[in-house]
Amino acid sequence: MIDIKFLRENPEAVKENIKKKFQDEKLALVDKVIEMDREFRSIKQEADSLREKRNKISKMIGGLYAQGKKEEAEEAKKQVQEFSEKREELEKKEDELQREINKIMMVIPNIIDPTVPIGRDDSENVEIERFGEPVVPDFDIPYHVDILENLGGIDLDSAGKVAGNGFYYLMGDIARLHSSILSYARDFMINRGFTYCVPPFMIRSNVVNGVMSFAEMDAMMYKIEGEDLYLIGTSEHSMIGKYIDTIIKEETLPHTLTSYSPCFRKEKGAHGIEERGIYRIHQFEKQEMIVICKPEDSPYWFDKLWKNTVDMFRSLDIPVRTIECCSGDLADLKVKSYDVEAWSPRQKKYFEVGSCSNLGDAQARRLKIRVAGEKGKYLAHTLNNTCVAPPRMLIAFIENNMNEDGSINIPEVLRPYMGGQSIIKKK
């Protein structure tokens, strides 16, 4: 959410940003907000004036009674009552306008970084850099579910009976591999100076509204019936929510946290949810990273975050590349975003395994995350990045470490988490 003062003073810049995101249907909202804001400030000014008059007359009433001027005192009391009633009406209208303005401001997209490429959708995203040499073995690599089933590592049929499509049982060595990757990612981030955290897996609606757009919420979040609680779609939500309505001492910044959590997503409208596989599912686990920092430091931390993911994948010998999301592919709160994609030897192409985002002060403005510095208070910047999400990571891992006989090699860095095991074979 952008600053209302910025919109008021730079309406054409806000409109141009909307055009860059190909959301022309929102252009009229800028003028609507400006008009409503003008009315809001006028009403507020009138209400403040009435409050001053009421307070001034109220102070006079006691003196009038003391001077025996009962009629004047009674008349003054009537004036106070009239001012109070009028002020209540104005404040009610003021509250209504404020809610409507906030509602509209929530859907006006954040100002994107000048370096973001302009494009309509993900087909116009831009490749930035490749890391590692993609390899296609001289034998065919089966579909990932077939590989896992051959190793006795997955049971989709039973999961379908228990929970429906989009769920799975991981079994045996594959289940252990899944947990090992998460544990390795946790320690990888701790060794890079991040504080480890296990957050709440449910959050209240005020936190949901603070960390994401309405469109994202509708497409992603599961609501707990009868309670003001949502299952998290990513631990970033509860990790940023940890700072709601707080004032952070500037000298303690940056705050760098890495978190583990299960994640739950409706994947509403997602293609492939009915397909047999674990690429797009309703439940998975993830190691995430977030940063709370000073505004001038967020570009530095953006580069540092996505490089952490690249370094972790490369430590497992998985080739990756970074893709910059174009303007039309950016969620409304984001200033800039990179996707990290892993190489798929079976498909002979890269696929998304993580996303790194700089949200500027958008989340901080919604959640009132402020910093107290020498020059006063200001809004923090927030960033997040996927370290690893094992379902997709698992696909990349088994395809890039598969042998012709169907067995899977375990890289040396993972072996301590696998009890020293160096290979996964069919039992």
Domain ranges of the chain: 4-105, 122-424
pLDDT at 267 over 80: no
What radius of gyration, in Å, describes the C-alpha atoms of the chain?
A: 27
Q: Whole-structure pTM over 0.85, yes or no? A: yes
Q: Quote the percentage of the chain above a pLDDT of 70.
A: 98
**Residue 273: predicted pLDDT:** 44
pLDDT at 247 over 70: yes
Q: What is the pLDDT of residues 12-54, one digit of tens each?
A: 999 999 999 999 999 999 999 999 999 999 998 888 888 888 7
Cis before residue 254, ω within 30 degrees of 0? yes
Give residue for tokens 């929530």: 106
The phi, psi pair for 313, rounded to 5°, reads: -65, -40
* Distance separating alpha carbons of residues 6 and 20, to the nearest angstrom: 18
pLDDT at 211 over 70: yes
* Distance separating alpha carbons of residues 239 and 257, to the nearest angstrom: 8
- Non-local CB neighbours of 280 within 8 Å, separated by 6+ positions: 166, 267, 270, 271, 272, 273
Judged by average pLDDT, the poorest of 52-66, 189-203, 323-337, 348-362 is: 52-66
> In the predicted model, what is the mean pLDDT of residues 107-128?
96
Of 134, 132, 28, which is closest to residue 349 (Cα–Cα)?
134
Of 326, 302, 303, 322, which is closest to residue 314 (Cα–Cα)?
322
Choose which CATH entry (3.40.720.10, 3.30.70.1140, 3.30.365.10, 1.10.287.40) describes domain 4-105: 1.10.287.40
> In the predicted model, what is the mean pLDDT of residues 152-179?
94
Q: Quote the percentage of the chain above a pLDDT of 90.
A: 80
The phi, psi pair for 141, rounded to 5°, reads: -100, 120
> In the predicted model, what is the mean pLDDT of residues 340-347?
96
**Residue 332: predicted pLDDT:** 93
Beta pairing partners, 311: none
Residue pair 33/7 in contact by the 8 Å Cβ criterion? yes
Going by DSSP bridges, is the β-strand pair 126-131/376-379 parallel, antiparallel, or unpaired?
unpaired
**Mean pLDDT estimate for the chain:** 92
Choose which CATH entry (1.10.645.10, 3.30.2320.80, 3.40.50.2000, 3.30.930.10) describes domain 122-424: 3.30.930.10
Of 159, 194, 197, which is closest to residue 175 (Cα–Cα)?
159
Beta pairing partners, 373: 376
User: Which stretch of DSSP H or E encloses residue 276?
Assistant: none
259: three-class secondary structure by DSSP? strand
**Residue 274: predicted pLDDT:** 44
Residue pair 213/332 in contact by the 8 Å Cβ criterion? yes
Token pair of 227, please?
């309670």
User: Which stretch of DSSP H or E encloses residue 336?
Assistant: strand 336-344
pLDDT at 389 over 80: yes
pLDDT at 275 over 70: no
The phi, psi pair for 410, rounded to 5°, reads: -105, 115
pLDDT at 269 over 70: no
Going by DSSP bridges, is the β-strand pair 255-264/195-197 parallel, antiparallel, or unpaired?
parallel
Around 134, how many Cα atoms within 13 Å sit in the side-chain half-sphere?
Answer: 16
**Residue 237: predicted pLDDT:** 94
